[in-house]
Structure formats: structure tokens, C-alpha cells
Amino acid sequence: MPDYPILDQVILGNSVLRWLLALLTVVLVLVAVAISRRVFSRRLQFGPPATSAILEDLGQAVSRATAQPIVFLLALYAGSLTLTFDPQAKALLRAGAIILVLIQLGIWGNTLIARWMDRYVARQPDPGAAGTARLFGFLARLALYVLLFLLILDNVPGVEITALLASVGIGGIAVALAVQNILGDLFASLSIALDKPFVVGDFISVGSEMGTVEEIGLKTTRVRSISGEQLIFSNTDLLNSRIRNFGRMQERRVVFSIGVSYETGVDTLRAIPDIIRSVIEAQEHVRFDRAHLARIDAYDLVYEVVYFVLSPDFLMYMDIQQNINLSIIERFRTEEIDIIYPTQQIYLYDQTPARNDRPGQGTARPGTAGSDSNA
């Protein structure tokens, strides 16, 4: 066997042969990673459809989110395993390799979270899915980064993580007490995302304010009011309020009243509910419920009418109500039924005594006055 003295020469404590083996190891690792990425990507591309759910996400994360500089540095570490170094240097190299692996795991995890968010939003017809995915993505990334940060610190030489965790725990309690309102809004946002009392695009009423939900954030929810300005609600205050969600209305219940004169005949009074019923049932997209003589007021006999519009559309409701009002007015005028307005009937007394009347006796003469008359 031929002898190559040059291979036995020592450079930085290692022979040339060891350096060549280290270089060969680096090349083999880089080639193996490149071939594995290509083969794995092709199998995912031409594989059975059943693998397209989870394996596709994993394959994309591995093949596209793998950082080339990290792969190169890890290949160098693999090559260094064939060399002889000082134990302290070996420990530093090992710690550096572990930190690089953790960083790469963080990149993969971040990519998987982003892919999950995109797929979740694409599968959900709900317009609030983006806000929900954004919230869960934020929490997942936060947990991932905190875990990786602690693991990296645990592998840094000279860093004692136990004392750090104890101090972080005490500091975390103090911070939590200081920002409890913010944390309350954060958990309220999580509750909104899970329970979904409303989503982006819903028309809601909160107390005396109402408008369309534009954005559900981590701390606040933004609502565009009817008059045009943007209303900003704290998520905690929002969940502590009574919320009326008109966006999930399936049909609209309508109640209105109409008054007729006391001089209206009894037979006509009995016929009025049927007249109103025929007017309402002649409209499209409505369901008649009832019409009754509900009250005997000071000025009129009041009928209460209830019907349903089979759509939550407010403009449709207003058009239907307008047609009903015009039709009722037309029918009442045809039937000579007076739609009353507030009137008063006043009796005037003639204080002039008649010739054959006893002194002090007057004669009463009825009269009428219009609305709000003080005569």
C-alpha cells in the first residue's frame, strides 16, 4: 500500500487525513440534505391525495423553510466530529449546534403556524375566521418563541436557567398584576374567538350604540356606526354588555298601532282586523301574525298589529311597511273609517236665562275643537 507522508502532517492538532475526512463529511451531509428535500417534495407532489393534509404542510415546512446557512453550519459541525479539539471547544461547538437546531425548529414551527392559519381561513366561510386565526397564531407563536428562548438559554454555557425561571416567575406575577386589564382584554378576545357572539361584518347593538363590526383585535373591537364614525370598544367591556346581534336575524318582527274614531260602528270595528290582515297578506315576503283592538285610549280606539318580514333586510322591511301604510289608508277611506288624531270635545254653556226657566239655569251647547285646543 503506497505511503502518503503528506496525509500524516498535523494541522491545528489534526492530521491532513482527518481534515479530508471532515471535508468529506460536510459534503456528504449537504448532498444528503439536498437529495432528501428533492425526493420528499416529489413524493408529496405525486403521492396519494390522503397525504395532502398534514404531510403537505410538513413537507413544505421542511423543504422550503429550511435555512441553507443553518444547514451549512450544521454540516460543518458534523465534519468537526471527526476532528480532535479541546474539550471546552467541543462543548462550545455542541452548544452552538443545538442552538442552530432550535432556531431551525423555530423557523419550521413558524411556517407551520402560518400554513395552518391560511388553510383555516380558506376553509371557513365565516368572515371572522381571519381574526380567530390571527389570535391563535399569535398565542401559538408566543408559546413557541418562549419555549425556544428558554431552551437556547439552557444550552448557553455559563447561564443558570433555574434562577432565571424563578426570577421570571416572580416578575411575571408583578407584570400580570400591572397589566391585568390588558390581560383581561386578551382573554376576552380569546373568548370572542371561541364563542363567536359576533364576527366581522355583523351589525350589532351595544347599549345605545350600534354599527357594523369592522375588526376584532387582541384588546379592542372596532365598530363602524350608522352615522359614520368608528366606535372602539374594549373587549372586556363588550362582553360585559348586552349585545344585540342583528347580523344573525333570520326574520324581523314588526309591531305597529293604528287608531280609529269612537264614532266607528261596532260591526266596522269587528271587520277592521280582517281588513288589516288582507292588506298585510297581499304583500310579499311577510307572514301575518295578529291584529286586535288592544286599547281604548283617551282619543281613539287603538288596534295593535303584528307581522313578520321573512328577511333581515332593513330596506325591504321599510318598503313593505310603507306599502302596508298606504294600503291601510286607502282601504279605510274606501270604507269611510276615520284614522283619528288627538281631538277634544268641549261643551259650551249659555248662561243667559230663558224666559220660562228658573233663575241660574243655563243651556248646554256641545262644540268641538281640534288637536291640543285650549278653548
Per-residue pLDDT, averaged over 339-366, amounts to: 62
Q: In 10 A of CB 314, how many CB atoms?
A: 13
pLDDT band at 310 (very low <50, low <70, confident <90, very high): very high
CA atoms of 144 and 103, how far apart (whole Å): 11
Highest mean pLDDT among 104-108, 212-216, 226-230, 268-272: 268-272
Fold of 252-334: Alpha-Beta Plaits (3.30.70)
Give residue-wise pLDDT tens across range 4-30.
566 556 666 667 777 788 888 888 988
Per-residue pLDDT, averaged over 218-240, amounts to: 88
pLDDT attached to residue 353: 62
CA atoms of 104 and 65, how far apart (whole Å): 8
Q: What's the mean per-residue pLDDT of the chain?
A: 79
CA atoms of 94 and 75, how far apart (whole Å): 12
CA atoms of 215 and 218, how far apart (whole Å): 10
Of 55-59, 161-165, 241-245, 327-331, the range with the lowest mean pLDDT is 55-59
Of 32-46, 82-96, 133-147, 201-215, the range with the lowest mean pLDDT is 32-46
pLDDT attached to residue 73: 86
Residue 236 has pLDDT above 70, yes or no: yes
CA atoms of 362 and 262, how far apart (whole Å): 28
Give residue-wise pLDDT tens across range 316-329.
999 999 999 999 99
186-248 matches 252-334 in fold: no
Q: Is-contact 347 365, C-beta < 8 A? A: yes
The three cell numbers locating residue 58 = 410538513
Q: Which residue is associated with the grid cell 384588546? A: 219
DSSP code of 357?
A: S
May I ask the CATH class of domain 186-248? mainly beta
Residue 145 has pLDDT above 70, yes or no: yes
CA atoms of 225 and 204, how far apart (whole Å): 10
pLDDT attached to residue 292: 95
CA atoms of 56 and 77, how far apart (whole Å): 30
What residues does each domain of the chain span?
Answer: 5-182, 186-248, 252-334, 344-375
Percent of the chain predicted with pLDDT > 90: 22
